[in-house]
Amino acid sequence: MTRIQAACMVVAILLCLSILPAIAAEDANTLYQQALDLYYQGKLDDALALCGKSLNLNPKASSSWNLKGMILDDLGRYQDALDAYNEAIRLKPTSYVAYNNKGNTLKHMLRYDEAVQAYDEALKINPSYTYAYYNKGNLLSLIGKYADAIRSLDSAISYDPHYAEAWYSKGLVYQKMNSHQDAVFSFEKAIAENAAYKEAYYAKGISLAKLGKAEDAATAFSRVLELDPAHANAKNQLNALGSKNFSLNNTDTEMPIGGGTSDPWPLYLAVIVIAIAGMGFLFLKFFPATASTKAPPRTVPSPHEKEEERSSEKRPKGAGTHHDVFISYSSQDKYVADAVCASLESRNIRCWIAPRDLLPGIMYQEGIIRAIEESRIMVFIFSSHSNNSPHIVRELTKAVSSGVIIIPFRIEDVVPSKAMEYLIGAPHWLDALTPPLETHIQTLARTVESLRGDGEEPGTAKKQ
- Amino acid in the structure at residue 463: K
What is the tens place of the pLDDT at every residue in 116-169? 999 999 999 999 999 999 999 999 998 889 999 999 999 999 988 988 999 999
Task: Tell me whether residue 236 is exposed, middle or buried, using C-beta atoms within 10 angstroms of its C-beta: 0 to 12, 13 to 18, 19 or more.
Answer: buried
Q: Is the pLDDT of residue 258 over 50?
A: no
Q: What torsion, rounded to 10 degrees, do the Cα atoms 366, 371, 373, 375 define? A: -170
Task: Tell me whether residue 126 is exposed, middle or buried, using C-beta atoms within 10 angstroms of its C-beta: 0 to 12, 13 to 18, 19 or more.
Answer: middle
Q: Is the pLDDT of residue 272 over 80?
A: no
Lowest mean pLDDT among 80-94, 220-234, 348-362: 348-362
SS (H, E, C) 132-175: HHHHHHHHHHHCCCHHHHHHHHHHHHHHCCCCHHHHHHHHHHHH
What is the tens place of the pLDDT at every residue in 101-124? 999 999 988 899 999 999 999 999
Cis peptide before 390 (omega within 30 of 0): no
135 contact partners, CB below 8 Å, separation of at least 6: 100, 103, 104, 107, 119, 363, 366
Residue 217: what pLDDT? 92
What are the start-end ranges of the H helices in 228-302? 232-251, 265-286, 288-292
d(CA 162, CA 193): 6
Residue 257: what pLDDT? 32
Domain residue ranges of the chain, discontinuous segments joined by +: 24-127, 325-451
Q: Nearest to residue 82, comparing CAs of 70, 64, 96?
A: 70
Residue 255: what pLDDT? 32
Which CATH fold topology does 325-451 show? Rossmann fold (3.40.50)
- Amino acid in the structure at residue 227: L
What is the tens place of the pLDDT at every residue in 324-351? 899 999 888 888 898 899 889 888 889 9
d(CA 444, CA 165): 35
Q: Cα 93 from chain centroid?
A: 34
Architecture of domain 24-127: Alpha Horseshoe (1.25)
Cα→Cα distances 409→3, 351, 418, 452, Å: 79, 15, 18, 17
**Three-class SS state of 299:** coil
- Quote the pTM value: 0.52
What are the start-end ranges of the H helices in 41-60? 44-57
